[in-house]
Each structure stands twice: as C-alpha cells, then as structure tokens.
Amino acid sequence: MEMPSPLAGVTVEMIATPRLKQNVYFCGPSDGVPVVFLHGNFSAALYWEETMLALPRGYRGIAPDLRGYGWTEDKLIDSTRGMRDWSDDVAALLQTLGIAKAHFVGWSMGAGVLYRFITDYPGQALSVTLICPVSPYGFGGSKDAAGTPCYTDFAGSGGGVVNPSFVQRIQMGDRGSDDANSPRNVINSFYYKPPFRAAREEDFLTAALMEKTGSDRYPGDFVPSPNWPNVAPGVHGPVNCWSPKYLRNDVAELLAVTPKPPILWLRGDSDMIVSDNSMFDFGALGKLGFIPGWPGDDIYPPQPMIAQTRAVLEQYAAKGGSFREQVIAGTAHSPHIEKPAEFAALFHAFISGNLFTA
C-alpha cells in the first residue's frame, strides 16, 4: 500500500543500517535532543506524528517502523531472542544516525522492546516513557504478580493465540466495518474508549495493515500442547517474541542494569488490551466462558498484567531506579491519541526533568 503523505513538519526517510533498512519519521531540529518513539503491535510509526509535532522546542522526534511493520524492510524475526531483534535494530539505527543518548517512548509492544533496550544498551536512555506497556513477563501464559508460568511449556502464549479471522482480514487488506474481527473495528473498539474515533483513522488503518503476516511473520507459528488451551509458542513471528518462554531472564536482567533511567508509566483507565482482565488473554477469556475447557483460577487465571508491571517497577525503584505511574481517565490503550493534551502535559514535564519534582 502507498504510504500516506506525512503531516506538515514531518519528514520520512529510509535509513540503511547494518541490520536492515528502516522507514523512519523525523521532526524537529536536527541538533535537537532526540526522542525515540516505538510503536506497538498492529500499528506503525505513522501513529506518532501528532505526538512528535507536539514536542517542545529543542527536541527532535524520531519514530521507526519496527521490523515486520510499516514500510521498513521485511526481514524475519528470531522469536527465540525475545525482544532482542527489535532492540538491536533500534541500537543500529541510533548508531547510524550518530545518536549516543536519547529519551525513549514505547507503546504496548514497543514498551517491551524498551525493557530489553535499556538492559542491553545501558546509559543510552535519558528517560523511558511506557504507554500501556506489555507486562515485563510478556503476554499470556503466566499468573500472579511474580509472573509464574501457568505451564512449563508456556501454553496459551505465542503465535497460536491470535484470532485467525483477524489475521485473514489483514491479509485481505480489509477496510470494512461489517465484521467484529475487521481491523477497523478492532482498532476502534480496543485501541480507544468508544465512541472516540481518530481524526486520521484512514491513515492509521493503512499503516497498521502494512504488518507482515504468515506463519513465520505475524502472528507466528505454534506447536500443539497437552495443556489448555492446547497451543504453545513457536519460534517465528512477533507474538512469540513476547511469550514468557523467551523472556525468562529479562526481568532479573532489567533489575540488575546500571544506570537505571527514570520511568514514566502512563496507562488508560479503560484499557482492555493490557489489563488484569485483558480481552486478548486466554485466562480472562476462558474464565468468561468464551474458550471451552478453562481449567480454573488455580491453574490458569487471567494474567494480572498491571499488577506484574507494578511489581517489577517497584523492584526497579527499590534497586536505585525511579518510576511514576499515571492513569489517564477516559482512555483505553492509546491515551496519547485519545487525550493528547493530558498526555503531553505529563510527558513533556517528564522529559524536561520536572515531573518527579512537581
């Protein structure tokens, strides 16, 4: 699909790095303080344009399409590395651009990439803003605030848990709204708190539909499991990247990193994607009766995603870091899009160093 024209004040370049060619959005002065924005699943860097343009004077916004998304070169992801392929891609981009340090913003899956980035590239992050972040223990297959796996094979996470009808409609380039599984309806029902609709709905949909699909791409492959819901992670595709199977040491490594950049955690009060009762988590769906055979709360409860993130960040602070959790009322999974003024007030104060002292 043809890339929508960028907004006035934003430029787009294809940047060749040692790892891949990345489609990157820029705004602000070339010598400004860099702010790097990482998008989530089924989205792209285009979603950041308004947020970038709202940056205070003196900042330079940089937003790449991550591997497998948008108009970046299509290269496979090694899911057994967890978030590392994306993290290494970001590091290669910064090296190519000659950037030693930056502020970082990660939305949903993009926040998961930042957990890994600040671990593997200590000292490069001036600050980290997490927007509706995936749990540090991944998505699916775990229980309790400590991220204990529900099963040893991590059943219920990975490429087999994505609705195949949704994937098929991405492959069709479906722009309709007649089916609940249409990409347009999924975005409008879950990214935002209805009845909110984004002004750039068509451009956002176009960018999201650029996600690369297939058994070795989105959502990824899977293997059969004797454990409910009878699918376990494979080794390809983004959804396997955030399986707890491949993030087993990530929390301990994150907590051990030095220095620890300050973290601002922003989330919507009506988020149904990243939640303690996520409508995309098999534990929550099984408990509600949508997936038969649910083994019960003792074995497979809803994943407490918010509780897990809070527990990890509290440990992060106890070990010398700092964080602030802020809930933006009346928003779901995209508070920076739904209530940009409220988001900007918090975010701009944070990157200017004033939020924690306010």
Q: How does residue 21 score in pLDDT terms, banded at 50, 70 and 90?
A: very high
pLDDT given at position 111? 98
Overall average pLDDT of the 293-321 stretch: 98
Overall average pLDDT of the 131-144 stretch: 98
Say what percent of the chain tops pLDDT 70: 99
Total number of domains in the chain: 1
Mean model confidence pLDDT for the chain: 97
Q: How does residue 51 score in pLDDT terms, banded at 50, 70 and 90?
A: very high
The reply to whether 4 falls in a domain is no
**Counting beta carbons within 10 angstroms of the beta carbon of residue 238, is it exposed (0 to 12), middle (13 to 18) or buried (19 or more)?**
buried
Select from 23, 86, 84, 9 the least CA-distant residue to 52.
Answer: 9
The reply to whether 344 falls in a domain is yes
* pTM confidence score: 0.98
* Domain limits for position 305: 10-351
pLDDT given at position 357? 44
pLDDT given at position 1? 85
The reply to whether 265 falls in a domain is yes
Q: How does residue 356 score in pLDDT terms, banded at 50, 70 and 90?
A: low
The reply to whether 5 falls in a domain is no
Joined tokens for residue 255: 């907590």
Q: How does residue 355 score in pLDDT terms, banded at 50, 70 and 90?
A: low
Q: How does residue 358 score in pLDDT terms, banded at 50, 70 and 90?
A: very low
pLDDT given at position 224? 98
- Tokens 């950041």 belong to 48
The Cα 290–Cα 299 span in angstroms is 17
Question: CA 321, 322, 328, 332: dihedral to nearest 10 degrees?
Answer: 10
The reply to whether 176 falls in a domain is yes
Say what percent of the chain tops pLDDT 90: 97
The reply to whether 358 falls in a domain is no
Q: Decide: helix, strand or coil at residue 36.
A: strand
The reply to whether 134 falls in a domain is yes
CATH no. for residue 138?
3.40.50.1820
**Counting beta carbons within 10 angstroms of the beta carbon of residue 4, is it exposed (0 to 12), middle (13 to 18) or buried (19 or more)?**
middle
Overall average pLDDT of the 348-358 stretch: 77
